Amino acid sequence: MRSALVIALTSVLALSTAAPATAQPALAAAEPATQLVLPRPTGAERIGTVSLHLVDRSRPDPWVPSEPAREIMVQLWYPASDVRRHPRAPWVSPGVAERFNPPGSPVILPVTHAYAGAPVQPGRHPVVLYSPGFGLERTSSTALVEELASRGYIVVTIDHTHDAQFVEFPGGRIATQAIPPPTGPDDDGEQVINTARETRVADTRFTLDRLAAINRGHNPDEERRRLPRGLKGALDLARVGMFGHSLGGATAAETMYEDPRVRAGINLDGTLSGAVVAAGLRRPFALMSSDGHGRADDETWLAIWPHLRGPRYDLQLAGSGHMSFTDFQVLLPQAGIPAEDLVPGYGTIDGARSIAVQRAYVLAFFDRYLRNGNGNLLAGPSRRYPEMRFTP
């Protein structure tokens, strides 16, 4: 069930889809490796991060029946008070990095702008959850996540085990994707998508429960690894939002329908599914689409629109593609992938500009509905960001 784009992404970062495998060692020997770089966040806050191994013993894993408890990895990104003596965190964990980018590759994967284990900035911070696209890891939209953290949010990214290509647990154990293949020509994958969405919603609600435990001073990490200083009481769980890309966006919508703790949500270019499509929402929700994907093109967006009874937005990023809502839009050009090869998945918009526009609108939305900000950017088209179209 992995898309050709997801497979190509892994191949590109493993480097490369264009050159034969036999040519890769020569390329690595002839040229120095290229360091890939994520866009710097623009907020004033320094960023800390910590990963947690969470185990839900109330339900088995839906993809691997031999696993009696559901295990996930989540990562907290937060404003930090002091980053001295704390190392910069890698974009992906070491074991996943080796799968993406084996030794000898002519690229070096990015380092984030977050510092591992740094103490948390004092205060109570609004919380935003993030769910990635189908088959992708929790790190796939780090540029958006870091921006929110640099603006004072605690962002919690979730790896959906056996849905993501790779999830690395403490000790180096790696869980791989275990999505069942189609059963025949009449199998459109609907059951797999439904199972994936239901599992992701359960993962998210379980994560919210564990965040509440952290706020009370408990440590839910399975290995009881030390939590950053200042995390207790730092999460304002009365102000929780959620966003996600593709199936992650559908997860955000369905989680809001099932769980009133999530007050506002954004769907980044995801086709919707589940009960929320007919039932709708009474809380703020934004649909943000790639060019050519909107209410005129997606019947699930058209169906939910009249049932969004709270503040609602239908935004479209001109020149973008479905994968423009991930970090790969800026990383693949740095890896030397020709622009014309990226058009099917990423459109024609410049990657750095795409992220800048997305950051502005995602931040404005959560500032408006989790912080009572003015929300002026959401009022209509902006001369500063003409790429963002508003559909009434």
Interaxial angle between packed helices 190-215 and 247-258, expressed in degrees from 0 to 180 and rounded to the nearest 10: 60
**What CATH number matches the domain at 4-390, 2.60.40.10, 3.40.50.2300, 1.20.1260.10, 3.40.50.1820?**
3.40.50.1820
Segment 257-307, tens digit of pLDDT: 999 999 999 999 999 999 999 999 999 999 999 999 999 999 999 999 999
Q: What are phi and psi of 123, to 5 degrees?
A: 120, 180
CA distance 227 to 250: 31
- Please say whether the beta carbons of 178 and 80 come within 8 A: no
Residue ranges covered by each domain of the chain: 4-390
Residues 6+ apart with CB under 8 A from 177: 2, 135, 162, 163, 164, 165, 166
- Please say whether the beta carbons of 153 and 365 come within 8 A: no
- Please say whether the beta carbons of 240 and 129 come within 8 A: yes
Segment 154-206, tens digit of pLDDT: 999 999 999 999 999 999 999 999 999 877 776 678 999 999 999 999 999 99
- Please say whether the beta carbons of 34 and 109 come within 8 A: no
Segment 12-27, tens digit of pLDDT: 333 322 222 223 233 3
Q: What are phi and psi of 131, to 5 degrees?
A: -120, 125
Instruction: Please tell me the pTM assigned to this model.
Output: 0.92
The pLDDT of 36-52, averaged and rounded, is 98
